[in-house]
């Protein structure tokens, strides 16, 4: 696996070595020893999300208690993954990073704790798996509205499918609880 640092501190794009032949392909999507060496983190929970339609935005979500680093991998389909540095005191506070992930390129995104995370589904029947460094805590879940004008994220869509919960999230400047650096 190749770990590439990205412009936001702590964010990595991971490229596994993919072995292909006439039968298909094989690759290691996770090896704890590699992640301990590169990122020094442990993972405790795996999640999987299925989206039957495209043009769905999920997020932008984060937790304070039990903050989660996430390892994002698309098993089937494609997403436009977006993260925002919301660590109070960070030099990159409010900056975002966006990358397309899909089941053809097998790229994996590591999102450290202290970032809000969300994505736009680009293909029907997309499956996203993500591995977390901490357990989900619904009492500590927060979020930022997907179309926050101060973040200026170009999702490439004006009228996405959004859950009622995500549609009612506040903008970043209205957040009263943010992770500390």
Residues 12, 61, 73, 110: which is the catalytic one? 61
Taking the C-alpha atoms of residue 112 and residue 9, their distance in angstroms, rounded to an integer, is 9
Residue 135 annotated as catalytic: no
- 117 catalytically annotated: no
Q: How many residues does the chain have?
A: 181
Contact present, 90 and 46 (Cβ < 8 Å): no
Choose the catalytic residue: 12, 62, 130, 142.
Answer: 130
Asked if residue 54 lies in contact with residue 43, where contact means CB atoms within 8 angstroms, the answer is no
Alpha-helical segments (H) within 92-147: none
Catalytic residues: 61, 130
């Amino acid at each position: 696996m190749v770990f590439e640092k990205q412009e936001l501190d702590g964010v990595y794009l991971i490229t596994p070595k993919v072995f292909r032949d006439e039968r298909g392909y094989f690759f290691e999507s996770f090896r704890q020893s590699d992640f301990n060496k590169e990122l020094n983190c442990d993972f405790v929970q795996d999640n999987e999300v299925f989206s039957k339609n495209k043009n769905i935005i999920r997020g932008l979500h984060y937790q304070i208690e039990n903050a989660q680093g996430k390892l994002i991998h698309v098993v089937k389909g494609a997403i436009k993954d977006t993260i925002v540095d919301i660590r109070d005191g960070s030099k990159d506070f409010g900056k975002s990073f966006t990358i397309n992930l899909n089941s053809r390129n097998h790229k994996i995104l590591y999102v450290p704790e202290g970032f809000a995370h969300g994505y736009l589904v680009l293909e029907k029947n997309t499956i996203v798996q993500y591995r977390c460094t901490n357990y989900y805590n619904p009492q500590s879940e927060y979020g930022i509205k997907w179309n926050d004008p101060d973040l200026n994220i170009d999702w490439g869509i004006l009228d996405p499918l959004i859950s009622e919960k995500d549609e009612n999230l506040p903008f970043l400047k209205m957040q009263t609880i943010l992770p500390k650096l």
